[in-house]
Amino acid sequence: MATSQQSTAAAGSVPLSEAYYGAPIALAVKRFFTKYATFTGRASRSEYWWWALVNYVVLFALGMVALVAGGTPQVSVDGTVAPPSGGAIVVVVLISLYGLATLIPGLALTARRLHDGNFSALFILIVLVPGVGGLILFILTLLPSKPEGARFDV
């Protein structure tokens, strides 16, 4: 019986209305974009952290491409600073568009992750506290799931 449940979970048949505990990386990314603006329900730690990893890798790669394309300012001998090259500007525009495209689903995923720990989605605003807000939100997303978080399910 356990093998049929594992194969069902491996096939990605967990309904979108439920958190997918132990989600593989590909399905976590797929669920991120499928539940684009869903602020209700819950998201497992694996769903949240697999997407965070993919997001940081993409941003790192785009940042490296921007640097290679001439994104670092060039200072001449007389002290004047040359603007970045056209290629770097294109990559920075791509990074900006990527950031805009993933802003809302990123907030929605964070809200669902907070729900899974039995916290209100409004705890996202704690990031506005200077100095420690980001650290507190980071810790909240690391906490394990709580059964009481089911109150956020729809």
Is 1 a member of any domain? no
Q: Give CA–CA dist 23/31, Å, rounded.
A: 10
59-71 pLDDT per residue, tens: 999 888 888 887 6
pLDDT digits (tens, 9 = 90+) for 78-128: 777 777 777 878 888 999 999 999 999 999 999 999 999 999 999 999 999
Q: Is 131 inside a domain boundary?
A: yes
Q: What is the pLDDT of residues 133-154, one digit of tens each?
A: 999 999 999 999 999 988 988 7
Q: What is the pLDDT of residues 36-54, one digit of tens each?
A: 999 999 999 999 999 999 9
The reported pLDDT for the residue numbered 117 is: 94
Range of the structural domain that residue 98 is part of: 21-147
Evaluate if residue 6 carries a pLDDT over 60: no
Is residue 96 one of the residues assigned to a domain?
yes
According to the model, what pLDDT value does residue 12 have? 53
pLDDT at 1: 43
Does residue 97 form part of some domain?
Answer: yes
**Is 10 part of any domain?**
no
Q: Is residue 32 part of a domain?
A: yes
What total number of domains does the chain contain?
1
pLDDT at 2: 44
If you average pLDDT over every residue of the chain, what do you get?
87
Q: Note the pLDDT of residue 82.
A: 73
H/E stretch holding 61 reads: helix 45-68
125 Cβ contact list (under 8 Å, min separation 6):
none
**DSSP element (H, E) containing 107:** helix 86-116
pLDDT band, very low/low/confident/very high, at 8 (cuts 50, 70, 90): very low
The pLDDT of residue 4: 41
The answer to whether position 101 is within a domain reads yes
CA distances for 126 relative to 114, 119, 123, 129, 139, angstroms? 12, 12, 5, 6, 12
Q: Is residue 123 part of a domain?
A: yes
Handedness of CA 128, 131, 135, 136 (dihedral sign): negative
